[in-house]
């Protein structure tokens, strides 16, 4: 099961969370933990209702407060402010689904009156033991009047980060890995299906990449991949996800901004299965092609400016496919068609004028 964390905890903070101190969880723990029954038996204080959690946090001391974002019926930012005010010494950890990660990153980076709203986040579902590794140990519990403390062997912060990077991050470019992209696409499509939203997948590769490797060497080829990754990430919006899915092949997942206001009914209806390709994704793809054409690749010598081009395919949910596998297949087919048509272009699935350069 995929699990990712972006840690702001220092070793000092981590060690300060004693196995004898208490943990409060609020929200639907079954949506955060793959073994929710173990969490319920562990001695954690669990309050499904956020208002009840705020109340108990004000009356009792907790080392860690875990907040399940999925399915929350309260406004999260005011609730986090209240939690922080109620128990200022506790570490607040957000437990989020993969599609909630962009919002979690913003919250962790936000402050209120100079105090952070949350200290860190974990992507769920995770196992109870992984959660306890992260916070520094399991909570104390009472059995037949005897205090029992179950201590989980902790991995060091550096080792945890290294293991999770291997599973979710491409080590050359720093982009998301193929495994991450595949799972993220599956989850975000399920979200879009329920909320009548759109997801667009772009798959692209670098034209004639083998030539660069053969002529200039693999180290230059690696630099080209890294530079393309930086440019693509720069062209995308904060909540879009970019990954390297193999060799010189990349993918970007464009989806509706999770922080935007709810769509009006008539606008949502326009974004139905018959809706056109999202203009935002086409605009970003065009901008990337333009930036790539202007970049200077000094490793290629004086003729290194503007020599890089890409070919790609764009496929959108729900019009071009209803599953993650269908979108990947459709986008890959469009990419191959772009290659056969002369390269240096991105094709849309199911359009008479396939090249995005022809889209106003």
pTM: 0.61
Domain 5-165 indexed as CATH 2.130.10.10: no
Give the Cα separation of 340 and 95 in Å (integer): 45
Task: Please give the residue that has the higher pLDDT: either 8 or 50.
Answer: 50
> Where do the structural domains in the chain lie, given as residue ranges?
5-165, 171-358
Mean pLDDT rounded to a whole number for the chain: 77
Q: Which residue has the tokens 């002529």?
A: 215
Averaged pLDDT, 39-47: 79
Model pLDDT for residues 168-210, shown as the tens digit of each residue = 888 899 899 888 888 888 888 988 888 888 899 999 999 989 8
283 in Cβ contact with 317 (< 8 Å): no
Q: What is the pLDDT of residue 163?
A: 52
Give the Cα separation of 180 and 242 in Å (integer): 10
Cα–chain-centroid distance for residue 33? 18
Q: What is the pLDDT of residue 148?
A: 28
Q: Which residues contact 326 (CB under 8 A, 6 or more apart)?
A: 320
* CA neighbor of 245 nearest in space, from 319, 291, 180, 192: 180
Give the Cα separation of 224 and 95 in Å (integer): 36
Q: What is the pLDDT of residue 170?
A: 87
* CA neighbor of 346 nearest in space, from 252, 272, 273, 242: 252
Averaged pLDDT, 266-281: 54
**pLDDT surpasses 70 at 12:** no
Averaged pLDDT, 309-324: 90
Size of the chain in residues:
360
**pLDDT surpasses 60 at 21:** no
Give the Cα separation of 187 and 198 in Å (integer): 13
| CA 81 vs CA 6, 25, 76, 89: distances in Å | 21, 16, 9, 13
**pLDDT surpasses 90 at 42:** no
Task: Please give the residue that has the higher pLDDT: either 351 or 200.
Answer: 200
Give the Cα separation of 202 and 281 in Å (integer): 8
Q: What is the pLDDT of residue 273?
A: 39
* b/e sequence 288-306, b meaning 16+ C-beta within 10 Å: bbeebeebebeebeeebee
Strand-pair category, 91-96 with 115-116: unpaired
Model pLDDT for residues 206-226, shown as the tens digit of each residue = 998 988 888 888 888 898 899
| Helices assigned H by DSSP within 122-261 | 128-135, 157-168, 178-195, 209-216, 218-235
Q: What is the pLDDT of residue 165?
A: 58
Identify the top-confidence range among 9-18, 20-29, 178-187: 178-187
Give the Cα separation of 215 and 260 in Å (integer): 47
Q: What is the pLDDT of residue 295?
A: 78
253 in Cβ contact with 272 (< 8 Å): no
Beta strands in the chain (DSSP E): 5-6, 23-26, 45-47, 64-68, 91-96, 111-112, 115-116, 120-123, 140-143, 146-149, 199-206, 241-246, 249-255, 310-317, 345-348
**pLDDT surpasses 50 at 312:** yes
Domain 171-358 carries which CATH code? 3.30.70.270
- The token pair at 150 is 């179950």
Model pLDDT for residues 129-156, shown as the tens digit of each residue = 888 878 875 554 443 333 323 323 333 4
- The token pair at 170 is 């491409």
Give the Cα separation of 357 and 209 in Å (integer): 22
Give the Cα separation of 138 and 43 in Å (integer): 8
């Amino acid at each position: 099961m995929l699990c990712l964390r972006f840690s702001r905890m220092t070793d000092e903070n981590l060690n300060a969370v004693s196995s004898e101190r208490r943990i409060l969880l609020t929200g639907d723990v079954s949506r955060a933990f793959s073994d929710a029954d173990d969490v319920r038996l562990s001695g954690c204080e669990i309050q499904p209702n956020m208002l009840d959690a705020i109340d108990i946090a004000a009356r009792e001391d907790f080392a860690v407060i875990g907040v399940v974002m999925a399915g929350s019926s309260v406004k999260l930012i005011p609730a986090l402010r209240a939690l922080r005010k109620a128990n200022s010494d506790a570490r607040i950890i957000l437990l989020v689904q993969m599609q909630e990660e962009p919002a979690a990153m913003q919250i962790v980076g936000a402050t209120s009156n100079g105090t952070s709203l949350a200290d860190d986040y974990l992507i769920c579902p995770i196992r109870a033991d992984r959660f306890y590794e992260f916070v520094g140990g399991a909570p104390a519990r009472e059995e037949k009047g005897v205090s029992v403390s179950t201590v989980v062997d902790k991995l060091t912060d550096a080792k945890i980060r290294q293991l999770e990077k291997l599973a979710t991050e491409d080590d050359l470019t720093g982009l998301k890995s193929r495994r991450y992209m595949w799972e993220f696409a599956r989850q975000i499509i399920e979200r879009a299906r329920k909320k009548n939203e759109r997801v667009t997948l772009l798959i692209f590769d670098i034209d004639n990449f083998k030539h660069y490797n053969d002529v200039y060497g693999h180290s230059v080829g690696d630099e080209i991949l890294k530079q393309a990754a930086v440019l693509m990430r720069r062209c995308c919006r904060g909540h879009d996800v970019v990954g390297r899915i193999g060799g010189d092949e990349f993918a970007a997942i464009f989806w509706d901004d999770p922080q935007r206001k709810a769509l009006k009914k008539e606008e949502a209806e326009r974004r139905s299965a018959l809706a056109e390709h999202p203009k935002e994704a086409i605009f970003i793809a065009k901008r990337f092609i333009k930036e790539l054409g202007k970049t200077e690749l000094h490793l290629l010598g004086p003729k290194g400016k503007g020599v890089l081009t890409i070919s790609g395919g764009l496929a959108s949910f729900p019009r071009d496919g209803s599953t993650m596998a269908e979108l990947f297949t459709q986008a890959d087919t469009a990419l191959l068609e772009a290659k056969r048509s002369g390269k240096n272009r991105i094709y849309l699935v199911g359009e008479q004028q396939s090249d995005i350069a022809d889209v106003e």
